[in-house]
A and B are shown apart, each in its own frame.
Chain A
């Protein structure tokens, strides 16, 4: 299978794509997906019934997401979670119906539709869990990010490295890049919550985060600390 032409974030070299990747024909739709599209584009009672089935499908996905994450929201009651799942399904239904022409059959229709419901539910859950909370845009104290239980020599090394990073964050990044990096990467603010507070989009914020990280990596490499030597996979 050839790689599709997927845009990389700027500032990093794109993976070379096959010359004809963007011209690859869309795969043929499976019968079930074709039937979803046909019935959703029908008129009258047939379309109404299809929209009802689609809403039920999206609600199933939203409930699935809410159940996965409800442990992180102990203060929410069952009714609140049901409401949230229903709102997510309603909003996902609007998105899916508005984007039917975007569905090209790269996956089954149901998988394509599910992602809208999961997104709506996940975003609502993140926002609900941060409702009424202050969004920290500055680190209180960089030393809190140091590891505990290291020997005195290791502790001194950590302090030195953290000071270097703190200085780089303060001097190399723009104020906006600094706020975004600190909030998202240090203080664990969900990207949708920050996007809401800063009146921007997830995509725009991630681009800012990406640019800030790239600047920081470059600066640390110039100081003799290539990022590969400092990090491990966070997950």
Chain B
């Protein structure tokens, strides 16, 4: 069965990521390291397994990840 986009997105939120994922507390504990690895071009997902899946499944952690990436990126740009 092929689902239309709107329904697929609803199902995605309902069913969540299928890969192993960490929880919100581990996500917060690892967030700074993960973001710096991402920005330095290192394979952050290999260093913090389960983080990417959690960011797909948790909108709040995903927002905070995006904010930290933007803030640190902006700071790096200002410093150069």
Note all chain B residues with C-beta closer than 8 A to A7: 22-23, 26
B62 in contact with A231 (CB, 8 Å):
no
- Of chain A, the residue at the smallest CB distance from B63 is A122
Note all chain B residues with C-beta closer than 8 A to A230: 1, 3, 8, 11, 15
Total count of chain B residues near the partner, CB < 8 A: 55
Note all chain B residues with C-beta closer than 8 A to A65: 67, 71
Near A by CB (< 8 A), chain B positions 17-46 give 18-26, 28, 30-33, 35-37, 42-43, 46
Known contacts A106-B33, A206-B24, A210-B21; A122/B67 CB under 8 A = yes
Interface size class, chain A: 35 or more
Near A by CB (< 8 A), chain B positions 33-67 give 33, 35-37, 42-43, 46-51, 56-60, 62-64, 67
Roughly how many angstroms separate A231 CA and B17 CA in the complex, as a whole number?
Answer: 9
Query: Would you give the shortest CB distance from B70 to chain A, in whole angstroms?
Result: 7
Roughly how many angstroms separate A231 CA and B48 CA in the complex, as a whole number?
Answer: 24
Known contacts A145-B10, A231-B8; A190/B15 CB under 8 A = no
A147 in contact with B4 (CB, 8 Å):
yes
Note all chain B residues with C-beta closer than 8 A to A115: 28, 31-32, 64, 68
- Of chain B, the residue at the smallest CB distance from A224 is B1
Binding site for A on B (CB under 8 A): 1, 3-16, 18-26, 28, 30-33, 35-37, 42-43, 46-51, 56-60, 62-64, 67-68, 70-72, 74-75
3 closest Cβ pairs, A-B complex: A147-B4, A213-B16, A234-B12
A-B contact pairs, 16 of them (CB 8 A): A2-B47, A3-B46, A6-B26, A9-B21, A9-B22, A12-B19, A12-B21, A15-B20, A106-B33, A110-B75, A111-B32, A118-B67, A192-B60, A210-B21, A213-B14, A231-B11
